[in-house]
Amino acid sequence: MKRIISSISFLIILILSSCPILDAQTAYSQQWPGFRGPWGCGYLENTKAPTIWSADSVKSIKWKTPIPGLGHSCPVIWNDYLFVTTAVNTTRGESLKVGLYGDIDQANDSAVHEFKVYCLDKNSGKIIWERIAQKGIPKSRRHTKSSQANCTPATDGKYLVVHFGSEGLYCYDFTGTLLWKKDMGMLAPGPYTDPGVEWGYASSPVIFKDKIIVQCDIPKTPYIAALDLATGRELWRTSRGDEVSTWCTPAIYSKDGKTRIIANGYTHMCGYDLETGKEIWKLSNGGDAPAPAPVIANDLIYLNSAHGKFSPIFALRLDATGDITLAPDSTRNKYIAWSVKRGGAYMQTPLIYKGYLYNLQVNGQLTCYDALTGEVNYKESLKEAFSASGIAADGKLFFSSEEGNIFVVKAGPVFQLLAKNALKDICMATPAISGNTLFFRTQHFLIAVE
């Protein structure tokens, strides 16, 4: 945790002072407030996360709550509140096709859907409240492997922001009162090689202090924007130029009095100024359908992607400025500490933990790099299909396969599989951690494993 806090130490104070629900004994670093937890780092420490469990055991399964509909959004947690979103087909069950395949097919979502928000008690799994944010036939389509509720909510302990793409952006308080909503227009990303094909919007909102950051890489006029958290008013919008559709969640960091937004992409991997939206640096030559979020650790920015001609991993210095695109025959320059030309992940955000970068690909190949040098420590195959990103706690890595098998791997430069636990349900969402409990969102349930 030290390597993250050293870069953004004052952020904790800012967040604590603005969150009345947060008690003085609970640090921001122990919440799970958005996609991949605090600062998007993907791990918590000072927990006692389980290693081995059985889906049929009442001793290890703390609770299991059915959630109707279909959603790949991840659970987020603040103190005892757990939030998740879903899209419920009111006519029939939702279709989902998982596994390793390359079809560009779209699902038939022509029926009326209820776009819902759930608040649960994280200790018991009981539903505290549920709200229908929007009801109607979906305005945009999705891939057969996607859902109409892909975006993970974000919270600061006072506000809860949920994004349903073309169905709008909504802000609630913790009692379920709708504070504001915003029509975001048509957000229908798809492969740039097949205009008109829609795969579903998936970039999660990110909260920093009094702002919401949204990355809207859509086929026409892609942009990144900052909104006022209390009102939803747009503060600034910056064009992403000729960027193609992406499904990436942005990241934010602060250092030396400057706060930057990092956006992954294909031709526009960029750093922006938080206050103005001004582009600070730009890097090209990523994969051409990127989904992973940037990660900040070790005073470096990590970016990866894998589709089409390129599948790189980049480790950038925080003081990058200007066009830092690498020459074709280079792997580093003034602002790129190291990179690899091929080996990045198509779907998963990398996990940087205790000095190592763990890169998991959709086919189950797990590669461990030295996070400071890019040296490869091992490559191992988990032999299943993966969409969810990995998380970590207390020296253990957790990787959720689409089949619902959770691989527990020992952190470090030598591969050691500690356990393989079955949830017995499809699992597309990245899990959450709170206290000594892991929280898994599967196709049909929220499951707490203690």
Residue-wise pLDDT for 330-354, tens only, equals: 999 999 999 999 999 999 999 999 9
Q: Is the pLDDT of residue 244 over 70?
A: yes
| pLDDT band at residue 399 using 50, 70 and 90 as cut-offs | very high
At which residue do the structure tokens 């990660």 appear?
A: 295
Average pLDDT over residues 282-299: 95
CB count within 10 Å of CB 368 equals 23
- For the chain, the domains span 2-449
Which pLDDT does position 347 carry in this prediction?
95
Which pLDDT does position 2 carry in this prediction?
39
Q: Measured over all CA atoms, what is the biggest interatomic distance in the chain, rounded to whole angstroms?
A: 57
DSSP run (H or E) holding 448: strand 445-449
> Is residue 362 a contact partner of residue 388, using CB atoms and an 8 Å limit?
no
Conformational region of residue 285, where left means phi above 0, alpha means psi within -120 to 50, and beta covers everything else: left
The answer for residues whose C-beta is within 8 angstroms of residue 139's C-beta and 6 or more apart is: 166, 167, 186, 188
CB count within 10 Å of CB 194 equals 10
Tens of pLDDT, residue by residue over 200-235, are: 999 999 999 999 999 999 999 999 999 999 999 999
With pLDDT > 90 as the criterion, what percentage of the chain qualifies? 88
> Is residue 55 a contact partner of residue 61, using CB atoms and an 8 Å limit?
yes
Which pLDDT does position 94 carry in this prediction?
83
Which pLDDT does position 380 carry in this prediction?
98
| pLDDT band at residue 9 using 50, 70 and 90 as cut-offs | very low
Q: What angle do CA 256, 260, 262 make, to 5 degrees?
A: 140
Secondary structure letter of residue 292 according to DSSP: P
- Lowest mean per-residue pLDDT among 288-292, 305-309, 384-388: 305-309
Tens of pLDDT, residue by residue over 400-417, are: 999 999 999 999 999 999
Which pLDDT does position 285 carry in this prediction?
87
Provide the CATH number for the domain formed by 2-449 in this structure: 2.130.10.10
Average pLDDT over residues 63-87: 98
pTM of the model: 0.92
Give which of 272, 275, 285 is closest to 321, Cα–Cα.
272
Could you tell me whether strands 154-155 and 127-136 are parallel, antiparallel, or unpaired per DSSP bridges? unpaired
Average pLDDT over residues 19-39: 71
What is the residue-wise DSSP string for 45-106? Answer: -S----S---TT-TTTEEEEEE--SB--PPPEEETTEEEEEEEEESSSPPP---SS-----B
Beta bridge partners of residue 255, listed in sequence order: 258
d(CA 32, CA 77) in angstroms, rounded, equals 5
Which pLDDT does position 27 carry in this prediction?
76
| pLDDT band at residue 29 using 50, 70 and 90 as cut-offs | confident
Which pLDDT does position 20 carry in this prediction?
33
3-class state of residue 131 by DSSP: strand
The whole-chain average pLDDT of the chain stands at 92
Average pLDDT over residues 20-32: 60
Q: Is the pLDDT of residue 196 over 80?
A: yes
